[in-house]
């Protein structure tokens, strides 16, 4: 048996390996349960008692030698593989295309950045809302058409739980819990029961702003709107305000900007008028302030709201609203240089 041990020592001393796989194969061959060294330990039981001490010592030396040799070979192959550390050898050879932010996200962040420069902060609220915050607190009459099933997605009718139709619900929530001055911007997704087409969708995105303080006037609103329009569409942009009606503002107006394609001269995009509508606005109705616990005799305010899709259409001339939600990679790749 001593002869077998000595032959294995010579064999193990001469071992070489070029990579980690070869080292593992040698470990299995010599040190696994069925390896050459382990089998000799099994044969040790048949050794004569007077020889056990010498042979046992030789076996232990053999096992130690084999273990150290395998470890040495493993270290040498790891040094060899160091040049490829950090490389994913399973990665495809094809270039990986860069991603891009969604056009609605690009425009949304641009709108928020403009209002932040005016001191507005972001406020957010739930998309699943109740009747009070979506309609009643905002001065909607009990029989207003917006409360009908054909206009609003109701989850429960008693009590009324619904998907918010505008982010004005965030404004009413903030006014309930915060004392003026209030200067917030409310971006978010809203839902309306619309037939999906190139010009309408059952969900879209809004950004609304609210400013409530003492002595807030319509002149403050107009100056804010002019600043926003010129920051968003260029310093030459002009605005005009047309009288309108919204339940939660009085007086109310819709704002147009001079067409950024024809410069106000008239084209097919602005239908020859030179103007394009982009948002609604007005002074907060005293009934809304009172419903939210703010004294309308002390405070006044203005509110405005716009569709992010509408602003994106004006900036990038996207003709079909459905493109924003279809995840067509060809469409999204057009905006790689937009941010």
Q: Render pLDDT for 173-211 as a digit per residue (tens, 0 to 9).
A: 999 999 999 999 999 999 998 888 877 788 899 999 999
Residue 87 forms part of a structural domain? no
Same domain as 224, residue 182: yes
Any idea what the CATH number is for the domain that residue 214 is in? 3.30.930.10
Is residue 289 over pLDDT 90? Answer: yes
pTM for the whole structure: 0.68
Same domain as 236, residue 197: yes
Is residue 339 over pLDDT 70? Answer: no
Cβ–Cβ under 8 Å, residues 289 and 175: yes
Vertex 306: Cα angle to 197 and 101 (nearest 5): 75
Residue 146 neighbours by CB under 8 Å, 6+ apart: 135, 140, 152, 165
- Provide the b/e sequence for 318-338 (b: ≥16 CB within 10 Å): beebebbeeeeeeebeebeee
Same domain as 188, residue 145: yes
Residue 89 forms part of a structural domain? no
Same domain as 240, residue 107: yes
Is residue 119 over pLDDT 60? Answer: yes
Residue 150 forms part of a structural domain? yes
CA 4 from chain centre, in angstroms, equals 68
Same domain as 161, residue 281: yes
Residue where a domain terminates, one of 35, 51, 81: 81
Same domain as 253, residue 202: yes
Same domain as 70, residue 151: no
DSSP-based helix, strand, coil % in the chain, nearest 5 = 45, 20, 35
Check residue 81 and give its pLDDT.
52
Same domain as 296, residue 224: yes
Q: What is the pLDDT of residues 35-62, one digit of tens each?
A: 887 777 777 777 777 777 887 788 788 7
Is residue 143 over pLDDT 70? Answer: yes
Residue 255 forms part of a structural domain? yes
- Provide the b/e sequence for 45-55 (b: ≥16 CB within 10 Å): eebeeeeeeeb
Residue whose structure tokens are 């609003």: 152
Same domain as 107, residue 72: no
Same domain as 110, residue 245: yes
User: First-to-last CA distance in the chain?
Assistant: 77
Average pLDDT, the chain: 86
Same domain as 139, residue 34: no
Residue where a domain terminates, one of 26, 48, 81: 81
Is residue 245 over pLDDT 70? Answer: yes
Is residue 295 over pLDDT 70? Answer: yes
- Domain of 44? 2-81
Q: For helices 52-80 and 2-13, what crossing angle results, to 10°?
A: 10
Residue 90 forms part of a structural domain? no
Residue 166 forms part of a structural domain? yes
Residue 269 forms part of a structural domain? yes
Residue 77 forms part of a structural domain? yes
Count: domains in the chain:
2
């Amino acid at each position: 048996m001593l002869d077998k041990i000595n032959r294995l020592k010579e064999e193990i001393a001469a071992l070489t390996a070029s990579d980690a796989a070869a080292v593992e194969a040698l470990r299995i061959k010599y040190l696994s349960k069925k390896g050459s060294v382990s089998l000799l330990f099994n044969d040790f039981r048949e050794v004569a008692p007077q020889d056990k001490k010498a042979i046992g010592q030789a076996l232990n030396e053999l096992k130690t030698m084999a273990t150290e040799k395998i470890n040495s070979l493993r270290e040498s192959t790891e040094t060899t593989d160091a040049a490829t550390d950090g490389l994913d050898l399973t990665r495809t050879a094809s270039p990986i295309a860069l991603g891009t932010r969604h056009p609605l996200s690009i425009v949304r962040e641009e709108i928020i950045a403009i209002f932040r420069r005016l001191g507005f902060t972001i406020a957010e609220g739930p998309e699943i809302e109740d009747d009070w915050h979506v309609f009643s607190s905002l001065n909607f009459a009990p029989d207003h058409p917006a409360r009908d099933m054909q206009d609003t997605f109701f989850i429960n009718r008693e009590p009324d739980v619904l998907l918010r139709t505008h982010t004005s619900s965030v404004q009413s929530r903030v006014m309930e819990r915060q004392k003026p001055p209030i200067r917030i911007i409310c971006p978010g997704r809203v839902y309306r029961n619309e037939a999906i087409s190139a010009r309408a969708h059952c969900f879209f995105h809004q950004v609304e702003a609210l400013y409530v303080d003492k002595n807030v006037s319509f002149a403050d609103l107009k100056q804010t709107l002019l600043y926003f329009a010129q920051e968003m569409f260029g310093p030459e942009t002009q605005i005009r305000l047309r009288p309108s009606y919204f339940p939660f503002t009085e007086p109310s107006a819709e704002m147009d900007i001079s067409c950024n394609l024809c410069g106000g001269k008239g084209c097919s995009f602005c239908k020859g008028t030179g103007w394009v509508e982009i948002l609604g606005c007005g002074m907060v109705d005293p009934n809304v302030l009172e419903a939210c616990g703010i004294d309308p005799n002390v405070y006044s305010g203005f509110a405005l709201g716009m569709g992010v899709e509408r602003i994106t259409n004006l900036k990038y001339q996207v003709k079909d609203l459905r493109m924003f939600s279809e995840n067509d990679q060809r469409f999204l790749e057009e905006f790689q240089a937009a941010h």
